[in-house]
Structure 1
Amino acid sequence: MASRWRDGSHIHTGDHASGLKTPGMHRQQKPSRETEDTAESARELPRWMRLYFYGMHGVTLDVLLSAVQGVLHDRDPKLVGFSSPYLCIMHSLTHFALEKIYSQKRCFRGRPVVFHLVFYPSVYIGLQILIGNVNTLTEQVRVVSGTQLAVHYILALYFAQVFHRGLSRLQYHPSGPADPQINPLQEDSDPRGRPCGLPGLVRFLFFGMHGFLDEVVFTSLFNLVEKSDRTLSGHTSLWSFLMYGSCSFVVEKLYLHLHFRRGWGTWRRLPIYICFIYAWELCWGLGLRQFNACSWDYSHYPHNFMGLITLLYLPGWMCLSLYQDVLSNLWYLPG
């Protein structure tokens, strides 16, 4: 389920239980006073939420690019990539600045090509070069190659044409008391026609990026304690994206079914979560080992089974499972 290169843990971070919704999910219906009030209460994502998402997304790009580079050089099926909490913070701040730059595109009316192909990419590349030198400010400045410039330019086009547009479609609905008439198991909308959550694919991507961030944070802290590595360099595997994304997606479905249909309390659901998570990690580990792609090994840990799962991480899994309920409410509690 999670990917550690012989060491790691699972800590699932997330956001507070508030509603995120996309305007495109509304069903066509006659406008009503209630829907107008709902639209008025919706607003753009809070600043803290955007900063967190920017950092998580930046770490994902770090891991992806470094893993691809490693595959090209070493042909390692473990697909290990690298990032750090430092870079997560830098990504949050720089992408927040890029958000402000993107909002200035209205100043380029009649000249969209200049903004999208020249101005925005130039600012983006400059900020990325700055990030790349964060850890080498006291050493020799890193020189950016032509290939790196090309990659940065392509990413700038992605942010200008896809990322900012997609994020601007998300709306934040302040959390309020849940309406007992609303059925959160009906994913598209509630009985009143209001959206009830983000699309499944978006939630899967969200969970996968969380997995990357969690792995990087844990392994960086592990390296700090065990190896006194103050650069806080952490690592994960591209397989973590699939493992975290799919497992959290299924656990979310378990939460909705057990809580809303069966009325099970938290501590009654918890053993079900734990059993499923351990089974998920074991199955993924067995499958990846067949291709020498399993990036974790618990053989040196106590109470392990086949080196793929260990009871040592049971407290972490319990915390993750409890927080999964909170994360599920992020999509399904109406405002």
Structure 2
Amino acid sequence: MASRSRRTEESPEVEASDESDKVDASRDLPPWMRLYFYGMHGVTLDVLVSSLQGVVNDRDPKLVGFSSPYMCVVHSLTHLALEKVYSQKRCFEGRPVVFHLVFYPSVYIGLQLLTGKQVLSGAHLILHYLLALYFSKVFHKGVSKLRYHPSRSGPPPRRLPGCLRFLFFGMHGFLDEVAFTSAFNLVENSNRSLRGHTSLWSFLMYGSCSFVVEKLYLYLHFSRGWGTWRRLPIYICFIYTWELCWGLGLRQFGACSWDYSHYPHNFMGLITLLYLPGWACLSLYQDVLSNVLLRIRCTEETKTTSKRD
């Protein structure tokens, strides 16, 4: 009886130790994952800024914005450099104002000049200064809370909140459309600038669609045991339905940014079977993204080095 009670008393400690081991198994996001996310985030900023400029100049409800795969790579590298700059924050201990308002913005604007961004006019200078403040006060702090759980034995202790997964899927939708339209312009129009376009509405479309498809994946794969090729038709039917519904809604306000009327096998110019292979590939890739996101969790506190600063 005594030995049994001793085991009972020790069990909470053992459980706490097991839980601690699970937490300790997590680590910083791998470099490839950070580069991927940084490029996607940079494309999102490009689309956001250019679409808002279009709204101011043309009052266009389509909210079309622009970026390119080249800029995606540039953003990945500059974001990585800015990450290294942010890590020097501890050198300004006791002088956070100097770091956030002077040093970091100066480095940020210098990097924009090196990448060919227009920052010489007063408006552009103010815009990039505000973006620098966003990076130093919000972006880097948020990324430092993300942890990667490489174990495949089960999900991490805490999954990413739904709002963060929605945000990821919306930004990834921007990246998908910019990559596709830039490749299309290169093949059909011989446009070597690789400039692609998308719409701010696509953020809501892709974010909500991928969020639902992820729910379908988790249910059909883990609960029902359905294989990939059995899930794929359901994904595609939902995607086409989602695109049609969004297109009908946006068209009522003149805000629909796509028209497939000149393509074969289209319906109302809003969906076309010509894009079926592309949607199938994106559906398969969606499962890959969902598996990656299942390995990421968001901590309540930043890393130890950040907390000391």
The alignment status of 1:245 with 2:221, answered yes or no, reads no
Q: Does 1:234 align with 2:196?
A: yes
- Structure with higher RCO (Cα < 8 A, 6+ apart): 1
CA RMSD of aligned residues (A): 1.8
Match of 1:25 in 2: none
Is 2:147 aligned against 1:164? no
Q: 2:85 aligns with which of 101, 114, 122?
A: 101
Structure 1 pair 315/175, CA: closer, same or farther in 2 (3 Å)? farther
Q: 1:82-140 CA distances to partner (integer Å, 9 max, x unpaired)?
A: 1111111111111100000000000001111000110001111111122235xxxxxxx
Larger Rg: 2
Task: Establish whether residue 65 from structure 1 lines up as the match of residue 41 from structure 2.
Answer: no
Q: 1:331 pairs with 273, 293, 299, which one? A: 293
How far apart are 1:155 and its partner, in Å? 0.7
Distance in 2 between the 1:225 and 1:92 partners?
25
- Equivalent of 1:282, from 244, 252, 277? 244
- SS of 1:32 mapped into structure 2: helix
> 8 Å contact 2:147–2:296 — kept in the other structure?
no
Asked if 2 retains the 8 angstrom alpha-carbon contact of 1:67 and 1:82, the reply is yes
Question: What is the number of equivalent residue pairs in this alignment?
Answer: 285
Within 2, Cα distance between the matches of 1:143 and 1:117? Answer: 17
Kindly indicate whether the alpha-carbon contact (under 8 Å) linking 1:176 and 1:334 is maintained by their aligned counterparts in 2.
Answer: no
Separation (CA, whole Å) in 2 of partners of 1:333 and 1:56: 19
List 4+ stretches of structure 1 deviating above 6 A: none
Cα deviation 1:61-99 (Å, max 9, x = unaligned): 000000000110000111000111111111111110000
Tell me by how many angstroms 1:334 deviates: 8.9
The alignment status of 1:270 with 2:232, answered yes or no, reads yes
When normalised by structure 1's length, the TM-score is 0.81
| Structure 1 residue 235: Cα displacement | 0.6
| Structure 2 CA distance for partners of 1:213 and 1:239, relative to 1, 3 Å | same
**Higher mean displacement: 225-234 or 69-78:** 225-234
Q: Which residue of 2 aligns with 1:146?
A: 122
Which amino acid in 1 is paired with 2:59? R
Matches within 5 A, 1:108-257: 108-133=92-117, 144-178=120-154, 194-195=157-158, 197-257=159-219
* C-alpha separation in 2, matches of 1:47 and 1:333: 15
**Equivalent position amino acid for 1:285 in 2:** G
- Percent of aligned positions that are identical: 76
In the alignment, what sits opposite 1:295? 257
Preserved contact between residue 47 and residue 67 of structure 2 (Cα < 8 Å): yes
In the TM superposition, what are the counterparts of 1:295-314 in structure 2 within 5 Å? 295-314=257-276
* Separation (CA, whole Å) in 1 of partners of 2:37 and 2:99: 24
In the alignment, the residues of structure 2 paired with residue 246 and residue 34 of structure 1 have an alpha-carbon distance, to the nearest angstrom, of 36
1:176 is displaced (CA, Å) by 2.0
Shift of 1:161: 0.6
Instruction: Give secondary structure in 2 for the equivalent of 1:177.
Output: coil
Q: 1:92 aligns with which of 76, 88, 91?
A: 76
Please state how far the C-alpha of 1:32 moved relative to its aligned partner: 1.7
